[in-house]
Amino acid sequence: MGAHGPATQGLMRWVTTTNHKDIGTMYLWFSFAMFIMGGAFAMIIRAELFQPGLQIVEPEFFNQMTTMHGLVMVFGAIMPSFVGLANWMIPMMIGAPDMALPRMNNLSFWILPPTFLLLASTLFMEGGAPNFGWTFYAPLSTTYAPDTVTFFIFGVHLMGLSSIMGSINIIATVVNLRAPGMTYMKMPMFVWTWLITAFLLIAVMPVLAGLVTMMLMDIHFGTSFFSAAGGGDPVLFQHVFWFFGHPEVYIIILPAFGVVSQIIPTFARKPLFGYDSMVYATASIAFLSFIVWAHHMYTVGMPVAGELFFMYATMLIAVPTGVKVFNWITTMWKGSMTFETPMLFSIGFVFLFTIGGFTGVMLSLAPVDFQYHDSYFVVAHFHYVMVAGAVFSMSAAVYYWLPKWCGKMYNESMGKAHFWISFVGFNLTFFPQHFLGLAGMPRRIPDYALQFTDFNTMSSIGAFIYGSSQILFLFNVVRTIVAGKPTSEEKTWEGAEGLEWTVPTPAPYHTFSTPPEVK
């Protein structure tokens, strides 16, 4: 190593590290880079839809943007960000020295950057990026796909591999490395939600791998899994995709539940209400997520008995979810609440996620879903769950734990400004889309009829406001790390029943691994 300069040595340290904090940090920065890239794709979509008529991009490129936006946000931004949180926090929360499988941990991260480089590079290939939407339904993704679909399939395999390795690591860590006395029913809610999420990931990622393998066979080897001409069925594609896809949306939201279950008790200065019921509700949601997949498919012509089963099963998921929302609100009830930035994002999460839950119940009703299906109402619904759910809780988590990670305090005023600009921008973007959908505007189109103009204009303005707030977030985080005021031992956030989370003073990196001190 003596021949190499300090820069090379620093780079090699990050490439070869097995420290759970280094890997968590890399996941978080990578996911934020993907968040910015996916957001840029969304800005192109909203700029095109600012007014009717084609003005900025061609319809074909618009389709590529909708595909890339969805794939990058789900697999590149949201999932890796929560894996980064898990890497940082789970060992400290359960009193473990590190993750159980540190080298696999390193590999599961380093698979991701080349994978998304490969996916992004399809934009510059002949035929262009995939143009079939993030759900990549056959036959659009098989018979009529651009040549770049093969790169997409390879990328999906690699993403799945990374997820499975990360999940095995989390399960092995939680099961084997808990400190003495840390029983399962004493684990923090964030650890519980991730343990359950990891089992979900291991169950559904092979299903996605099987699906894209069948696509590969149809495209290159003459099989007919999804081609009716050869005895296959395009609807089979939808069944297999949503058997993966519906648990996937819970994989995204369950760690978010864990985050707000940590933050709300801290700033309400009360223990989490109904801890046991929260654990059971999380497990119930995970189980039910496997038997509701066809609620995405009411319009394919399934038997009425099938529609009824999936309708009732979907409505049933509202029960454990409602238990969670009730417990969060009850935790806040008569608490000594203060409204620092993490608490603002958590309350915003509870409020907006509940709206997303209500529209989800509306979409679960088979007869009326024929009106909502493939309209902007669906877009509004899942963004209230994904953005107001996953992204708001992720922002809350960063503000909550950043002082612990770097020993410096973020700028509170800037954090609150980030919240309010995000909150206004988000609602201005997605609330009008409910009305667009109910009025009949289909999603994934680059142009629309004149009567949809006003709501689309509002939506686009809101999107640019929301996007700009993330630049403020980035500035605040970087400023904190580079020039933030060091936290002192006196700077504590008092939690439940007088427990205090002591924010550590700046210390040498390798000594900075004790669990949060509980007095």
**Residue 61 lies inside a defined structural domain of this protein:** yes
CB burial of residue 322 (10 Å; 0-12, 13-18, 19+): middle
pLDDT of residue 3: 58
**Residue 481 lies inside a defined structural domain of this protein:** yes
CB burial of residue 463 (10 Å; 0-12, 13-18, 19+): buried
* In the predicted structure, residue 517 carries a pLDDT above the cut 80: no
> CB of 87 within 8 A of CB of 21?
yes
**Residue 3 lies inside a defined structural domain of this protein:** no
Instruction: Give the model confidence (pLDDT) of 71-126 as tens digits.
Output: 999 999 999 999 999 999 999 999 999 999 999 999 999 999 999 999 999 999 99
Spatial separation of the C-alpha atoms in residues 424 and 467, rounded to whole Å: 11
For residue 166, how many C-alpha atoms fall within 13 Å in the half-sphere facing its CB? 33
> CB of 153 within 8 A of CB of 212?
yes
Q: Pull the structure tokens for residue 142.
A: 């098989």
* In the predicted structure, residue 273 carries a pLDDT above the cut 60: yes
Spatial separation of the C-alpha atoms in residues 227 and 493, rounded to whole Å: 59
> CB of 336 within 8 A of CB of 407?
no
> CB of 22 within 8 A of CB of 15?
no
Q: Pull the structure tokens for residue 158.
A: 């690699």
**Residue 208 lies inside a defined structural domain of this protein:** yes
Encode burial over 96-105: b for 16+ CB neighbours within 10 A, e otherwise. Answer: bebbbbbebb
CB burial of residue 115 (10 Å; 0-12, 13-18, 19+): buried
**Residue 354 lies inside a defined structural domain of this protein:** yes
What pTM was estimated for this model as a whole? 0.93
* In the predicted structure, residue 507 carries a pLDDT above the cut 80: no
Overall number of domains in the chain: 1
Cis ω before 515 (30° cut-off from 0): no
Mean pLDDT of 209-235: 97
Instruction: Give the model confidence (pLDDT) of 315-324 as tens digits.
Output: 999 999 999 9
pLDDT of residue 151: 97
**Residue 511 lies inside a defined structural domain of this protein:** no
Q: Pull the structure tokens for residue 136.
A: 């990549």
pLDDT of residue 501: 47
Mean pLDDT, the chain, rounded, equals 93
Dihedral sign for Cα 318, 209, 39, 413, please.
Answer: positive
**Residue in the block written with tokens 């900025």:** 56
Bigger pLDDT: 511 vs 269: 269
* Full residue range of the structural domain in which residue 491 is found: 11-501
* In the predicted structure, residue 129 carries a pLDDT above the cut 90: yes
Q: Pull the structure tokens for residue 15.
A: 């490439």
Bigger pLDDT: 489 vs 465: 465
Q: Pull the structure tokens for residue 144.
A: 């009529």
CA-based R_g, the chain, Å: 23
* Active site amino acids: 69, 98, 134, 162-163, 246, 248, 250, 261, 295-296, 321, 324, 443
pLDDT of residue 7: 80
DSSP for 270-327 reads: SPPTTHHHHHHHHHHHHHHGGG-GGGG-GGG---HHHHHHHHHHHHHHHHHHHHHHHH
Dihedral sign for Cα 347, 325, 383, 285, please.
Answer: positive
Mean pLDDT of 172-189: 97
Which of 318, 311, 319 minimizes the C-alpha distance to 295? Answer: 311
CATH number at residue 169: 1.20.210.10
DSSP for 98-151 reads: S-S-HHHHHHHHHTHHHHHHHHHHGGGSTT-S--STTTT-TTTTTTT--TTHHH
**Residue 421 lies inside a defined structural domain of this protein:** yes
DSSP-assigned letter for residue 184:
G
pLDDT of residue 490: 40
Contacts of 420 (CB under 8 A, 6+ apart): none
Mean pLDDT of 456-469: 98
* pLDDT tier for residue 59 given thresholds of 50, 70 and 90: very high
Instruction: Give the model confidence (pLDDT) of 370-406 as tens digits.
Output: 999 999 999 999 999 999 999 999 999 999 999 999 9
DSSP for 251-268 reads: HHHHHHHHHHHHHHHHHH
**Residue 512 lies inside a defined structural domain of this protein:** no
Instruction: Give the model confidence (pLDDT) of 133-180 as tens digits.
Output: 999 999 999 999 999 999 999 999 999 999 999 999 999 999 999 999
Q: What are phi and psi of 502, to 5 degrees?
A: -85, 120
* In the predicted structure, residue 514 carries a pLDDT above the cut 90: no
> CB of 271 within 8 A of CB of 332?
no
pLDDT of residue 508: 33
Q: Which amino acid is at 284?
A: S
Q: Pull the structure tokens for residue 316.
A: 């049933």
Q: Which amino acid is at 268?
A: A
Spatial separation of the C-alpha atoms in residues 208 and 243, rounded to whole Å: 9
> CB of 110 within 8 A of CB of 15?
yes
First to last CA, the chain: 44
Instruction: Give the model confidence (pLDDT) of 36-48 as tens digits.
Output: 999 999 999 999 9
> CB of 383 within 8 A of CB of 39?
no
